[in-house]
Structure 1
Amino acid sequence: MINWEVIIWTCVTLAVIMGVIGLILYAISAKNMRNKRKELSEVHTDMKVGSRIMFAGGIYGKIVSMEGEDTLRVEVAPKIVITISRYAVQSIVK
Structure 2
Amino acid sequence: MFARLQPYLPTAALLLLITYFVFHALTGERGLLSSSQRNADLAAKTMELKKIRAERMDLEARARLLRSGSLSADLLEERARSLLGYADPKDYVIRTRR
TM over 0.5: no
TM-score by length of 2: 0.39
More helix by share: 2
Greater Rg over alpha carbons, structure: 2
**Larger RCO (CA within 8 A; separation ≥ 6):** 1
More strand by share: 1
TM-score by length of 1: 0.40
